[in-house]
Structures are given as C-alpha cells and as structure tokens.
C-alpha cells in the first residue's frame, strides 16, 4: 500500500500564540501524524517544533519524534515502543511509561486523535487510559491518567488527573475542530 494523505489541518494555538500544521497519513504499517508548530512563548521567545507520531493499524503508538528550537536552543526527543507498553529513549527503557498505549504531545491537539480512534467509543461511552505525556517546551515524558467520554458523534469530554477537562469537537477522522481555550481549527483539506 502506498502512503495516503487523509487530511491536513491548521490549528490556531491559543496557548503559544501560534499555528500548528498537521497531516494525517495512512501508511503501510498504520498511521502517521506529522506536523510543525510555530509560536511565541510567554516570555516572547519564538519557538519552532516538529513532530511525527507513528501508530499501528489499531492506533497504538510505536514511535514518537519531536524536535523543538527556541532561538539557538535545540532539543530532541525520540521514543520507541518496542513491545506493548515498553517505552525506550535510545537504549534506555523509560520504566515510568511502562503500560502507556498513547502519547500525548502537549504542543498539539493532534495526539487526541490517537485515543479517540483507538478507543472507538459509542455515544455515552467512557474509557480511562494512561498516556505518555510529553511536556513542552522541556520535552520530558511522564505518565498522565486521562479519561475520554463520547458526548455526541463529534464531541468528547477529555479529563486528566491534573484536574483539567475540556469538551473537544472533532471531525469524522477524529481530528480536533475545537479545543476550548487551547486550539481552534483554521483550515483543513486533502
């Protein structure tokens, strides 16, 4: 199977005063979310970041690559899930992430698509998970308990154990249209 671009989106990032351009690809061994974020940090420093998240056909995360630049400060994160639940950065196993099925990149709403598609909830259904939460801009990863509840065909309530919650509106592919207070879709196409 040849790689097939399913959709491109551009989100307005309300947290970084910036933009996130992302493509969702169906690739030979699963799915790929690939994007670029440009924004301004609260201290007025410009930031540029790129990300790639590879999953299998069932939306289980296999590989995550993130690079961010803040001026001359460049930081990279490369994570691999070698067997279900065993996360590695280089040769080191990240024991705190053992058992996580999804990655949640704090710099983009794109990774909400992973849990939404993998869980495949019926309207009224709810499920909990633990994601490998990659914080931004430091690119550190830690486990984060999350819960998704499907409120309507196109709406999910996202909750995390940090006390944060939001009602997210998504399209037919599970890509965010509206994430109140954080991201708003500006455009989409193929």
Residue-wise pLDDT tens digits, 119-134: 999 999 999 999 999 9
Output the pLDDT for position 82.
84
Residues in the chain: 190
**pLDDT of 141 higher than 90:** yes
pLDDT digits (tens, 9 = 90+) for 164-176: 999 999 999 999 9
CA neighbor of 23 nearest in space, from 134, 117, 108: 108
Rounded Cα distance, 73 and 58, in Å: 36
pTM of this prediction exceeds 0.85: yes
Output the pLDDT for position 15.
82
Rounded Cα distance, 78 and 177, in Å: 28
pLDDT digits (tens, 9 = 90+) for 91-108: 899 999 998 989 999 999
Per-residue confidence at 83, pLDDT binned at 50, 70, 90? Answer: confident
**Structure tokens, 23:** 């493509």
Rounded Cα distance, 29 and 39, in Å: 32
pLDDT digits (tens, 9 = 90+) for 6-21: 999 999 998 888 999 9
pLDDT digits (tens, 9 = 90+) for 23-57: 999 999 999 999 999 999 989 999 999 999 999 99
| Mean pLDDT, the chain, integer | 95
In this structure, are strands 102-105 and 126-134 parallel, antiparallel, or unpaired? parallel
pLDDT digits (tens, 9 = 90+) for 107-122: 999 999 999 999 999 9
**pLDDT of 135 higher than 90:** yes
Task: Give me the helices (H) in the chain, please.
Answer: 112-119
Rounded Cα distance, 53 and 161, in Å: 23
What one-character DSSP code corresponds to residue 96? G
**Structure tokens, 164:** 């944060």
List the chain domain ranges. 4-189
Output the pLDDT for position 1.
57
CA neighbor of 135 nearest in space, from 48, 66, 81: 66
Output the pLDDT for position 190.
84
Instruction: Of 13-17, 61-65, 78-82, give the lowest mean pLDDT range.
Output: 13-17
CA 21 to chain centre: 13
Rg of the chain over all Cα atoms, to the nearest angstrom: 16
In whole angstroms, how far apart are CA 26 and each of 51, 68, 127? Answer: 16, 25, 25
Q: What percent of the chain has pLDDT over 70?
A: 98
């Amino acid at each position: 199977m040849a790689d097939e671009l399913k959709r491109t989106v551009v989100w307005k990032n309300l947290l970084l005063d910036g933009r996130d351009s992302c493509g969702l690809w169906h690739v030979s061994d699963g799915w790929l979310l690939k994007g670029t974020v440009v924004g301004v940090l609260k201290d007025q420093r410009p930031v540029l970041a790129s990300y790639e998240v590879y999953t299998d056909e069932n939306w289980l995360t296999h590989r995550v690559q993130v690079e961010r630049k803040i001026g001359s400060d460049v930081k990279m994160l490369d994570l691999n899930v070698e067997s279900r639940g065993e996360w590695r950065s280089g040769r080191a196993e990240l024991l705190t992430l053992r058992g996580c099925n999804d990655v949640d990149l704090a710099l983009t709403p794109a990774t909400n698509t992973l849990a939404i598609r993998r869980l495949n909830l019926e309207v009224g259904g709810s499920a909990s998970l633990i994601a490998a939460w990659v914080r931004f801009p430091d690119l550190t990863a830690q486990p984060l308990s999350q819960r998704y509840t499907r409120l309507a065909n196109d709406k999910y309530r996202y909750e995390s154990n940090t006390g944060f919650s939001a009602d997210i509106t998504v399209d037919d592919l599970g890509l965010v249209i509206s994430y109140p207070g954080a991201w708003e879709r500006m455009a989409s196409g193929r």
